[in-house]
Structure 1
Amino acid sequence: MKSPHFILTRVTPTSRASLELEYADGARFDVSLVDLIRSTPWMSALKDQAVFATVRIGEFGRTVEWPGHDDLELAADNLRAWGVEQAGDISHEFIWRWMDENDLSLDAAAAALGMSRRMLAYYRSGTKPVPRTVALACLGWVALKKQREPKLLPLAA
């Protein structure tokens, strides 16, 4: 992805297993990796503070990596999504998940939400922040869809 909002310009490790990140569009996030390190076996090397402190920006600013640990690499777009979500906002990944879980194309998703295809594409790509009202509309759409699904009665024995 060439979008400046997914290109890292600075990464600084903290002693609390988080990364202070800055992106080419000027956005800054403090992303905690504590839960990821605890729950993901291949990330266990990052429990060592000395290893964690070696983090650097990967090629073209699209990842962070830890030298000497080729299997330790995190994508800049995922880190941004985590940063947005950890700050209490809605990330572009929310739109991707909602569309995928409901098997919706961009056109169908835009129609379901009553918005233009272009605007939804901006939200899905991370170009524009996802408004809370859009996230709530997605959740409401799912709730209405469940209400409208036919109820199957159990077969009598």
Structure 2
Amino acid sequence: MRGACAMSKDHFQLTRVAALPDYRLGLSYADGHSFEVDLRGWIATTVPLRPLQDAALFAQAKVGFAGRTVEWIEDALDLGADNLRNLAVEQAGGIGHERIWNWLHDTGMTPDQAARALGISRRMLIYYRDGEKPIPRAIWLACLGWEAVRPMNDSLPRNIPTAREYAALHA
């Protein structure tokens, strides 16, 4: 049986990378999941990634240090395996774990507070936040709903405030 640390790391450890046509990558992870990710947008809009517009360089993609990166030029041009997985999940229509990270940051809530707000256990929230389990659509909708009403205490409002009421409550 694997320890908790080993289990929590496998989902971001790459075992295989394949450069595909049209600036896409095929990614396989140690947890057995495989993804395809389209990097055209990132390459076109991110200055440090512009060298990857060279198809010959892009084709040199390989698993980087300890399976934590996709690497093109050692110590100079790589992308994190966790960021690539998040992007692939989002491109496939899923909800990437970084959304939970951002929601926690934006709300200023602790994991305990956020778990209570969503009606789930702290452990499950952390699984979602860390990308160990896929985020159910209902959980992400609950996050968006929380943002819409921004309860001021543990009790939920009975109705959704109008835009004017919302502005007045949070001015």
Q: Does 1:76 align with 2:101?
A: no
Counterpart residue type for residue 64 of structure 1: V
Matched, 1:151 2:156: no
SS in 2 for 1:30: strand
Cα offsets for 1:38-67 (capped at 9, x unmatched): 001111100000010011111110001103
Q: Mean alpha-carbon deviation: is it higher for 143-152 or for 27-36?
A: 143-152
| Structure 2 gaps, min length 5 | 152-160
Q: In structure 2, the residue corresponding to 1:121 is in which secondary structure?
A: helix
Q: How many residues align?
A: 151
Distance 2:22 2:36 in 1: 11
1:52 maps to 2:69: no
Tell me, yes or no, if the aligned pair for 1:42 and 1:71 is still in contact at 8 Å. Answer: no
Task: Give the alignment's TM-score, normalised by structure 2.
Answer: 0.83
User: 2:141 — aligned with what?
Assistant: 136
- DSSP 3-state at the match of 1:16: helix
The gaps in structure 1 that reach 5 residues or longer are 153-157
Q: Of 60, 63, 69, which aligns to 1:63? A: 69
Identity across the alignment (%)? 50
Distance of 2:42 and 2:111 partners within structure 1: 30
The 1-side partners of 2:37 and 2:93 are apart by 12
Read off the aligned partner of 1:151 and give its amino acid letter: A
Question: Does the residue aligned with 2:22 lie in a helix, a strand or coil?
Answer: coil
Let me know the Cα RMSD of the aligned residues.
Answer: 1.7
* Deviations 1:49-92 (CA, angstroms, capped at 9, x unpaired): 00100111111100011036x33111111111001100000111
Q: Which runs of 4+ in 1 moved over 2 A?
A: 146-150
1:99 is aligned to 104
Match of 2:41 among 35, 38, 41: 35
- Secondary structure of 1:151's aligned partner: helix
